Amino acid sequence: MTRRIEERFKTLKEEGRPALVTFLMAGDPDGETALDIIKALPAAGADLIELGMPFSDPMADGPAIQEAGRRALHGGETLKKTLATVARFRESDPATPLILMGYFNPIYVYGVQAFVDAALKAGVDGLIVVDLPPEMDDELCLPALEKGLSFIRLATPTTDDHRLPAVLKNTSGFVYYVSITGITGSAAPDAKKVEAAVGRIKGHTDLPVCVGFGVRTAEQAAEIGKAADGVVVGSALVSAIASSLDEAGCATDKTRGAVAALVSNLAEGVRSARLAR
């Protein structure tokens, strides 16, 4: 059983600041470059890492993350390779929490129990599977929890007080609050609405609440971090990768540094939020 997520949030609470949670797509733009970028994230300021599992029908993802998934799949990324990337990351980083995020279909094809066992062996700490509602907890959530993997659930602006207990029932690690309705990266979050929503969720759970979807700048991260236990950034990071590639969609000498530079800037914003607490 892993407790990296719990330990990280405990440390951050003692420091009096929110977490910077970074999302990247496994295998984007290729396996080796992606691994190098992921390895650089903690030193750049990432407190937790979400790693996307590429899927051919990513219904909740915006254009930037969809394109990242297409690049990864075109390059031959598979769930088995993604797990191998996690294992290689763990060789040099035993402490940073790492969460796999994606859709159920690849996991179902892999085999649920085989996947859970392989994820634990590789060093995965938690799962976010966006198309599995609480009514389907028997499919993956409960088998994952039984083995010690956190299962992180999404709450949205449309998750009312009647629905929220069901969403939170088997959630562990943290709650991921989607700050806007729609797809990833489609709009900027409203800080006042986020603050009210986080407060409402915290009335139902002691778990940390992290806020994502639409956060792109250090200023936005700082503002959201005043209310949330963590700020999730994804589309901005995969866009930084995309803009660094050559005409053929391959990595350049700018690709590895582009993400680290942006994460460092975002980390400054998140860390400044401690002053407002």
Residues 6+ apart with CB under 8 A from 262: 236, 237, 240
The answer to whether 200 and 250 have CB atoms below 8 angstroms apart is no
**Which residues are known to be catalytic?**
50, 61
Contact 24, 259 (CB under 8 A): yes
Copy the structure tokens of residue 3. 């407790």
Q: CB under 8 Å to 194, separation ≥6 — which residues?
A: 177, 179, 211, 224, 227, 228
Cβ partners under 8 Å of residue 72, min gap 6: 25, 26, 27, 28, 29, 34, 52, 54
CB 55 within 8 A of CB 69: yes
Element (H, E) at 110: helix 104-110
Two structure tokens written together for 186 = 């489609």
